[in-house]
Structure 1
Amino acid sequence: MKLQAAGKASKWYVYQKIVIVFILFLLPLISMNIWLNYKGMSVTKNAILNSSQAGASFYSKQLDKEMYFIRNLQLQLINDKDLQKLSFRGSLLGDYEEVQLIEQVRDRLSTLMASSEYVVNSGVYVESIRKTILMNSGVTGTPNEEMKLMTSLSEVTPKPSFYRSGNRIFLIESANNGSIVTYIEISRPMLLQSLNEIAKLYPESEVLLGSQESGTMLTTAENADESEEILKLTADESVDQEPPQFKKMNGVNYFITRSAVGSLHLSMIMYVNQNELTRPLSQFITWFYTLFIIAIIVMILYSFSVNVMIHRPLSKLVKAFHMIETDNLNITIESKTKDEFHYVFNSFNNMARRLKNSIEENYEQKIALQHSQLKQLQSQINPHFLYNSFFNIYMMCKVGDSDSAAELSQRLGSYYQYITRSGSDEVPFYKEYRHALDYCDIQCIRFANRVSFEYEEETEIPPSITVPRLIIQPIVENVFEHAFEDGMMEGKVLIGTAYREGMLRVTVEDNGNLATDGMIEELRGKLAMDSKTVENTGLINVNNRLQLKYGPDSGLSVSRSRHGGLKIDLVIALENMKEAAACTDC
């Protein structure tokens, strides 16, 4: 017979385990690679975001510092002694002195304008002389348009940090109950240019200057509505708070950094498309997924190669062993390669051939050995039982209980006649059952008033059924030796039989209280173990003999009795013996 294909199995193959182990070893490396990749991208991303935040913060602080500087110059101007003198003594001054003071004030205004490129105009209104001193238009009497504008703006309450009129931005301060009003016009184009410088930090970034109260004052965005929406997204943030944040608007994630311009009570907000910030990282993501796909392909190729080189030859070998388990020894495995499996297949073929010859040569010898083992198991007799029985007869004679002594002698003689009788290894079941009942009678006579037993007649069991000798008595003996050894009164042993569909069952129960759950589990374990690994006690011997003769479906099982003690079931699968006999005849 030639074996060409591997059989289908419902369990894990060796090659599957190898592939799984390979994947398990590879997964930590892949996981570490993923973690390092995302950790690196996270660190890089945070560095980019921190850099953008630092840049925006730097420009906003520069702008804030410049505005504070202009305000300080304005405060110095309003407290200038020449301006104060002009205000207090304006109506008392002569023309020359007035002109001289006005020129000195204009010099101060000129210095203020030259101090910052954000100042496009500056002026002073002096109520006592009813004139405005302007850098762009000189000295003008009032009322005039400039004075009207300043007066209307200064009447706004509460007083803002800056004033707006159309596209013009003013810083206005007054003193001496409004007798002196100074104002500075801030260059809107210069402010917008500063915002554009910040917006150049990243492509597609925009910067706005505004607040929730006054809205967007300046923005680099072409669409002012977009800046208004960004301003609304940050409505829950305080002016002084500057944490970077991510907000989603119109399906686009924006990175938003906010810096306070305290001199104007405004916020400078830079917002940029998050994809623009992370675009340099996209190439790393591409390489990562490429390497991940390569790793998957490597695992697939490795699995396929292991399947071809290891799994298929092993499947042939496993199927061959399965066929040997069915006693089919006419089998050989062909090998087309010259690798290690070639040696294994040749060794298997030689083993199958030698095994077949060995079985044919040693079959009769093994049968004889099994027969000898059965003889040895049957010949075990407990001499203590005989000594104790003789002592009981002696004591009965001493007390004059001749009837009990006679009955015990009769039962004892019948008992030993049965176990010492030579002849066939098997006896009719009713004789084996009667022998066990004789043993119970003997024990009950010996332990009168302490132990009793009940039994069922074996009326349903065909008389032609034969069983090995001495298979029931060791079970009953175990009950009397262990279940009642604490001297309990009213001990009871119950013996029953059943026969159905080729299954013969004998049940022995007791009401003893010495069998703990742990002892029952230990006994179950011993009965389930190989006969070579446990000591050959009476119950173990019976179990081994039944399984050796009738197969694994036969033997002993233990459980808790409904009477509180131990329950032992002896099962014999007689149908197995019929099938084996039929195969032998074939």
Structure 2
Amino acid sequence: MKALPAWLYKQFTQHIQVRLTCYFLLILLPLVAISLFANIRSQQTLEKQIGDRTKGALTAAVEYVDLALQNVDALSTQIASDQNLIRLLNRVGTDLSPGAILEFSHLMREVTNISAINPILSHISILHAPSGMLVSSNFGGKQVENAQQFEWVRSTMEANGGNQLFLPTEEEAKKYANNDLNGLYSLNNLSFVRTMDVYNQQRQPNVVILTTNRETLVKLTSALLPSQKAQIYLYVGKRLVTSTSSDVLPPEWDDDNKDMLVKTSEATGEQLIMIRAKSRQSNWSVVMVQPMEELRQETEQLQIFTIIIIGISVLLAFWIAWIIYRNITSPLESLAHGMKQMRLGNLNVRLENNRKDQLGYLTGAFNQMAEDQLQLIQGHYEQELRMSKTELKFLQSQINPHFLYNTLDSIYWAAKDYDADEISEMVLNLSKFFRLSLSKGRESFTVSETIDHLHYYLRVQQIRFSEHFAVEYEVAEESRTVPVLKLLLQPIVENAILHGLEAMDRGGLLRIAARIEDDKLVLQVRDNGKGIPAERLDYIRGTLDKLKDSPLKLTPFGDGAAGGELFGLRNVAARMNMYYGDEAELRIESEEGDGTVATLLLPLDKCLEDTTGMA
């Protein structure tokens, strides 16, 4: 997770197009925020307006239900105080005699007539407690044994003439399924019960029962449903009386101080808006439940329109950022790329320029600068090359006097130790050596000519040292025609004789080899002399490494060259680096008492390019 913020920060800081896009999106952010706020605010306003209208309609509905129930209450009072009905019930005793049955038939006719003119009632029943006879408008008479056992009878008696609402529970409905007292215990009905002869304190325990179907109450409010998914629930207190849905119960109303709540359905998980209206005169209330999705459908077009505007704005931001990037940032990135190429050494880089504005002028100035830089470097390079050749010739001129002194010294000792013939041979080889060294200004020889040149020098040295060492040549045929800088091997061979073989009385061997290996010309001088101590060898290698890493000067050996210290090796290394570049390498390998090997590794392509020096 930490890598994502770091990547985003890198893209933001390193790419102008990303920053431009972010800036445009920031400009759009207030517009998006205002649009979303207006959308949400309009939806809230709509919900409030719908809630207010619905609550008004529900209040009217609950007042209508109140009015209907007040009529039922008035009717029950009228029946309970009807003196004809009271006298009729009082004339009947505990036994069901023919006269009693006749009286009950008159009673049934009366309640049937009353029930017929009240459509809200399903039927009217009167319980004659002494005989246990229940007279009803829809089925006639039925004797109920031990009517005092029923809780609703006892509570009605205790109400002292007050009207009681009886809502059977599921447990009571199951218990009295076979003896439901004419639907009194049916879950589809609700009953209003009170005692007869309400104004007589010495009244008999007779009860009048007015029963209505719960669906009748639902029909009074179902016209208010705004959609098929909306439901209405009728409550008395906190007890659900009836509803338009028998399958789904509404969420619990947990805040009595509010008349509108938004709850989540436990059955479907969708959000529901719940609006409640309470009766000001009774304990009845009506709750309508409707999915929020239906309300939001009315604002859906506004939401879609807002989303489209936001989407188009974002696309415009990206498009404008791309146009600005293409016309401003892209040329700048092209300039940055060109400058990077120049920094890497590509002076031939040129930028396409078809613009006539300030960026076009800047691009043209860059191309001109690159051209001027190329011309300047080429002129400087040619000047440095001429200086290097001058320095190279100066270094070569330093070898001839040095060798001449040694040769004259050899002739001197040979004249003392040998006869004149040997001296003449030495002088002959010396003259051939100088003749090839001068070579009419040539700067390089082939490997074959270089070996011949060395041979003349070695004959002088062999005569000088009384043939104390032998010389072997191992020259590969393919290397014979390869050009090589003149006088490159002679200082190496001279060091091998003076520092390796001079101290040997006999058995000395000097092997000179030339071959081509891995695109390099390998020149090798090997002797079996006394070798070089390890400390001295480290010093020689360190000196050569410093010489390779330092820039060449016309006096490359500095103060360290005083007294001829490593003069020959320094000369060879300096000429190699100047002539063949950093790819050329001089390696010195030696073990004390086991000889020394000096190896020159020259790039073959640089050697083959050297044709001018052999012309």
Shorter-chain TM-score range: 0.3 to 0.5
Larger radius of gyration between Structure 1 and Structure 2: 2
Q: TM-score, length-normalised on structure 1?
A: 0.44
TM-score (norm 2): 0.42
